[in-house]
Structure 1
């Protein structure tokens, strides 16, 4: 097995009720607040830490099996198209190139962000949008 290019996994979830959603995951579920920012036009983000994360990819048959085991009936919703997964990497440019070579479509080449990271947006095989980002302050 080769060494992973990825050093962090971020799931980015959009919500219409920001305060309640942050309170649920931070205060109720107990995730640790690592950073939070407010920006132009009312933009807000809170980054909550989880000690360990994995990316589980399942086909529909596996999802049905898990529904049956956990609930006893089908309850899973169809895949949500608005979910984006963000991966921190050591080198955003070379990772973007490697992902494109591996079948991802580059939607935006690595771009410096206002929060001093280098981000690229891609559409991965299967339709999931992903961001690879490199922190430039480190």
Structure 2
């Protein structure tokens, strides 16, 4: 059995973060909730993937930006065409790549910053671990 993973993160900009990951990165909206014990949230991912991202907001609570430029999510896209389509989709939504804090990620990938300052690397390589 392979465990499933949920990465949950609060945000002050729920709508903007959802646009980045859904419209820019191409993840699907898997579910959402509003006013659930004081929280609103959206789950994004791919229906068959063993992971998804959950973004939440809580009115009246300030979250702030990412603590460093090296807080990353890395997506490995070994197929060159799929990788280029993902890059093009982000750029078409108005997101530009930024230099990675760790230059390793610039060798085979591009890094994009979400509205909260967290970064996503689109790595054009296979994940061999």
TM-score (norm 2): 0.40
Q: Please identify the structure whose Cα radius of gyration is greater.
A: 1
TM-score (norm 1): 0.38
